[in-house]
Structure 1
């Protein structure tokens, strides 16, 4: 009686091991380097608003990030600016 239970336990352990190994090898997610997507953005010496907007859209990676058109201002900086 104990021998079949040992075999069943070994088979279950082996199945669990190979399942985890398979799952880790199929890692989800993008293989794209995010810095590659934004390193080639260049603006001329006097860009128009549309060119700055286009560059800001290119800087957003992934697409869930907000558009970064200009310099951001923190609440502390706004408080300092307004006095």
Structure 2
């Protein structure tokens, strides 16, 4: 397990070493920041996936927000499920 995490981190560092110098040399600081941020987030998510950690769905938030509206519309228009 530790070896796979080390491989993910090493590959991320290698990718960063190849891409960041050219972005910084061309003065693309925002792009360099965005690239670094996405690479770090992607690496973290890869390690989480490798460790079989369950991440809840992001659809829970909109579901909680729209459920009362859905139920109200269902009651108002006399719509039945199914």
What TM-score, normalized by structure 1, do the two folds share?
0.28
Structure number with the higher helix fraction is 2
Q: Looking at both structures, which has the greater relative contact order when contacts are Cα pairs under 8 Å and sequence separation is at least 6?
A: 2
If you compute each CA radius of gyration, which structure gives the higher value, 1 or 2?
1
